[in-house]
Amino acid sequence: MIFLILFITYSYFHQGGGWSQNSRFAQIRSIVETGQFKINNYLIYRVVNDSGGKPKLQRQPIPPDIELEQIGLIANTGDLSILEGRLYPNKPPGAVLAAVPAYFAIYHVERALGIDPDDWWPLTINAYLTTVFSVGLLTALGCVVFFRISQPWLLALGHSSCRSQRCCLTTTWLQPFLFSASGCF
């Protein structure tokens, strides 16, 4: 019951895109789609018209003469590190590596259905689902482990099982778990 309540709560809230989230999601996409850690090809998107005149997103290459400091002006993130011309998020890789299995499944289902992962709607849904099924899932599981560990202590102090569940839920909702589980990236 605790897992279900927390997982639904963590699934409801989504932080959306920002420099931190975008740099991490770009690396997740790069790992799954190309097998590379660099994110050079996942930073710049432009709206273009398809053959029917309908607007759609399209990835653009990074201009070859651009300075690192200028990338944030035209890219979806400026949270970058550079090494020998390759760009990487300037974040620890733990959240990215935890999210790769979720995006791997999402990406391959979309490919089988013929969905373009660069289009606006799939890109947004993919970031949401990847967050839910990586850090949202892991945080909800972590809270269940927290409950299992703390319950014997609370029972030993004379609290009922129902009260220990309420204590666990209150603690996990009031702590940074909610932010961490809904805004991994």
C-alpha 176/C-alpha 85 separation (Å) is 36
Q: Is residue 160 part of a domain?
A: yes
Question: Is residue 143 within 8 Å of residue 177, measured between CB atoms?
Answer: yes
Q: Is residue 141 part of a domain?
A: yes
Model confidence pLDDT, tens digit, residues 24-79: 999 999 999 999 999 999 998 889 888 888 888 888 888 877 777 788 788 888 88
Q: Is residue 10 part of a domain?
A: yes
pTM, to two decimals: 0.83
Q: Is residue 72 part of a domain?
A: no
Q: Is residue 153 part of a domain?
A: yes
Q: Is residue 74 part of a domain?
A: no
Model confidence pLDDT, tens digit, residues 128-177: 999 999 988 988 888 888 888 877 877 787 877 777 777 777 766 666 55
Question: What is the pLDDT averaged over residues 109-129?
Answer: 93
* Structure token pair of residue 159: 């609290």
Q: What is the domain range of residue 129?
A: 2-40+92-182
Question: Is residue 58 within 8 Å of residue 45, measured between CB atoms?
Answer: yes
Number of domains in the chain: 1
Instruction: Between 62 and 113, name the one with better pLDDT.
Output: 113
pLDDT at 180 over 70: no
The pLDDT score that the predictor gives to residue 178 is 55
Q: Is residue 61 part of a domain?
A: no
Single-letter amino acid code for the residue at 168: C
Question: What is the pLDDT averaged over residues 19-24?
Answer: 89
C-alpha 90/C-alpha 81 separation (Å) is 5
